[in-house]
Amino acid sequence: MKNKMVIYGCGGTGINVVSPYITTPLEEKPGYAKVEAFLIDTSESNINTTKVRNAFYKIKLEKDAEGSGSIRAENAPEIMQQVPNFISEKHPGDINIVVASANGGSGSTIAPVLTSELIKRGKPVISILFLDDNNLKSIENAYRTLVSYDSMAKKAGVPFITLLIPNVSIKEANEVAEEYISMLAMLFSNENHGLDNADLRNFLNFTKVTGAAPGVASLMITDKLGEKYNRNPLSLAMLHTSLDAQEASRGKFVTGYSCDGIFRLNDGQKIENRTVYFTTEYDEVLEMIRHLKDRTESFQAELSGVVNSRIKLDADGGSVEENGLVL
């Protein structure tokens, strides 16, 4: 039976990336999971049509407040309290994709909480996280988001899988996410020859079948070995277009766990021999965390003079009111 993929757009960036899957639903086709999409945020500012609103869940805040203003702690209690209700209303799929920016206040808090709640329910989940390092607050939020994923993964005892997309424009974000989501819909369709849901659960939860400890892990997707990927992964899933491609891929990696299958083609459809590799590892996340930490220290050093400076002015003969107004 064909799998259902549910995509959750969290926060402003997540909503912008995922909304097209609601306004223009993907046509169901052979070899791809059926796709459904839902949205969640602390603000309605990115909700612009009735169709999108019907898929949207607003975190209720005190005094009808809106948004988190890039402060992750601002609405964390409400987010942690209400995300389980959101999942109960917007039911998970056979595979779930959580999409968010790691830099903001709401999406970067909702995403790890939502991921954790899905894991608690035994639902496979992959998080697509956008990151940039163009200002100190964004960097701090991204760092704390990744550390949150790692901490929550260790508490859950299973890996939290993240697909990291750094420093892209809004247009590029949509294009890159669409490409990755399409490939994941192929991998998790449950229609590939020789590849079933149990194989892919072990691919994501590699600690179950290897000696690796749980933590935040990165997912990489590529069909160009050597150019984009030259490391040995913790787990590996391969999707081939033919038996010849399957045979040519053998022995490419040393890995703790691997599974593979052949993509379902339409009758009469022909496609070049190709293998898409899906790999999990810890190294990329650790490198990103180190990078963000270094950037934080660099920004703090650069800004220290600005932050600590004081404007020294006096009333110059004017009278000063109790509230500070100079007349």
Return the structure tokens found at 277.
Answer: 């590799």
- CB-based burial label for 280 (10 Å; 0-12, 13-18, 19+): buried
Pairing label, strands 275-281, 235-240: antiparallel
Is position 248 within any domain? no
Write the DSSP string, 52-107. Answer: HHHTEEEPP-GGG----TT-TTTTHHHHHHHHHHHHHHS---SEEEEEEESSSSSH
Interval 25-78: pLDDT, tens: 888 888 999 999 999 998 888 888 889 999 999 988 876 666 566 656 667 888
pLDDT recorded at residue 266:
65
Number of domains in the chain: 1
The one-letter amino acid at 134? N
Q: Is residue 223 part of a domain?
A: no
- Residue 182 lies inside a defined structural domain of this protein: yes
CATH number at 200 reads 3.40.50.1440
Q: How confident is the model at residue 322 (pLDDT cuts 50, 70, 90)?
A: confident
Domain extent for 149: 4-218
pTM for the full predicted model: 0.89
In a domain, 259, yes or no: no
Q: What tens digit of pLDDT does each residue of 273-308 get?
A: 889 999 999 999 999 989 988 888 887 777 776 655
Q: Would 309 be classed as within a structural domain?
A: no
Among the listed residues 239, 98, 254, 93, the one whose alpha carbon sits nearest the alpha carbon of residue 163: 98
Each residue's pLDDT tens digit, 93-118: 999 999 999 988 788 899 999 999 99
In a domain, 314, yes or no: no
Examine residue 194 and state whether it is found in any structural domain, yes or no: yes
